[in-house]
């Protein structure tokens, strides 16, 4: 069975400092990996994805993530955090041939960026 | 707007009421999903529809009844709910197998059961 873990419930960072949100996954095949962000009372918004190719993927709002196959990780990063980045972040994994395109989500990490 | 529209945005219902949540997408996607998001809990996949057929039902109580009349619409019919069913219900859609873009989510319906 596929699974994804976000070990931190919350990450606090000062504005302007680097932001990292951790994600590890467990799948038996080749994964598709995603990051989503959720602002209060909103649905999830797509940030970026890894399918194949370059291990460093760049996404929306200055975010990037690095796929590390040996560590089965896909950590989300931003070099300089903004107060407006405060939100709930979800990592997700999908197998290449998952029935119904099923995405499995992590538990979410709340990011708080302080001025 | 993301292309997936959910109505209503907020719903308060008594435990004996019957109500329905609606989800609509005009993205040309052929798979649709219902997720439940409760406070301090992971996103819970409830139902998956692919090509208008239910392909997954994750042990959801029968008081939740999904309906997918066509590829653009998905409903969640609710009856005799419990207070613990209060949550944000998210609808999502995606393209068929082989597409790389994950899901497009609606903004959700905030359900409160009193």
Q: Tell me the range of B5-14, B25-34, B55-64 where mean pLDDT is highest.
A: B5-14
Cα angle vertex B69, ends B63, B70, to 5°?
140
Rounded to the nearest angstrom, the minimum Cα separation between B93 and chain A is 10
Q: What is the pLDDT of residue B42?
A: 79
CB-CB under 8 Å, A108 with B48: no
Whether residue B5 contacts residue B94, with contact meaning beta carbons closer than 8 Å, is answered with no
3 state SS for B20-81:
EEEEEECCCCCEEEEEEECCCCCCEEEEEEECCEEEEECCCCCCEEEEEEECCEEEEEEECC
Q: What is the pLDDT of residue A67?
A: 95
Nearest Cα to A43, choosing from B3, B68, B91?
Answer: B91
Q: What is the pLDDT of chain A when averaged over all its residues?
A: 90
| Whole-Å CA distances, A76 to A5, A50, B62, B100 | 13, 11, 38, 18
* pLDDT beyond 80 at B4: yes
CB-CB under 8 Å, B97 with A108: no
Q: What is the pLDDT of residue B45?
A: 87
Of A49, A97, A105, the CB nearest to B43: A105
Instruction: For chain A, say whether B45 makes contact (Cβ under 8 Å).
Output: yes
Q: What is the pLDDT of residue B59?
A: 82
Which residue of chain B comes nearest to A45, CA vs CA?
B105
Q: pLDDT tens, A22-43?
A: 999 988 777 889 999 999 878 8
Name every chain A residue with its beta carbon within 8 A of the beta carbon of B55: 99-100
CB-CB under 8 Å, B97 with A97: yes
CB-CB under 8 Å, B90 with A44: yes
Nearest Cα to B83, choosing from B111, B41, B43?
Answer: B111
CB-CB under 8 Å, B110 with A99: no
| CA dihedral sign, ordered A22, B100, B5, B83 | negative
A85 versus B39: the higher-pLDDT residue is: A85
Which residue of chain A comes nearest to B31, CA vs CA?
A100
């Amino acid at each position: 069975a596929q699974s994804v873990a976000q070990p931190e419930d919350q990450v606090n960072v000062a504005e302007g400092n680097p932001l990292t949100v951790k994600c590890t996954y467990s799948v038996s095949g080749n994964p598709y990996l995603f990051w989503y962000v959720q602002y209060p009372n909103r649905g999830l918004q797509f940030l970026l994805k890894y399918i194949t190719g370059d291990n460093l993927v760049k996404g929306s709002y200055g975010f990037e993530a690095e796929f590390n196959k040996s560590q089965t990780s896909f950590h989300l990063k931003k070099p300089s955090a903004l107060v407006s980045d405060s939100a709930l972040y979800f990592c997700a994994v999908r197998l290449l041939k998952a029935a119904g395109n099923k995405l499995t989500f992590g538990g979410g990490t709340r990011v708080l960026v302080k001025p | 707007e993301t292309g997936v529209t959910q109505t209503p945005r907020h719903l308060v219902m008594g435990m004996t009421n019957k109500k329905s949540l609606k989800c609509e997408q005009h993205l040309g996607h052929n798979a649709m999903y219902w997720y439940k998001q409760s406070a301090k809990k992971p996103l819970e996949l409830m139902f998956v529809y692919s090509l208008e057929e239910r392909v997954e039902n994750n042990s959801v109580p029968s008081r939740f009844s999904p309906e997918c009349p066509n590829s653009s619409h998905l409903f969640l019919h609710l009856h005799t709910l419990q207070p613990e069913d209060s949550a944000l219900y998210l609808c999502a859609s995606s393209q068929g197998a082989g597409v790389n873009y994950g899901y497009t989510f609606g903004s959700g319906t905030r359900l409160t059961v009193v």
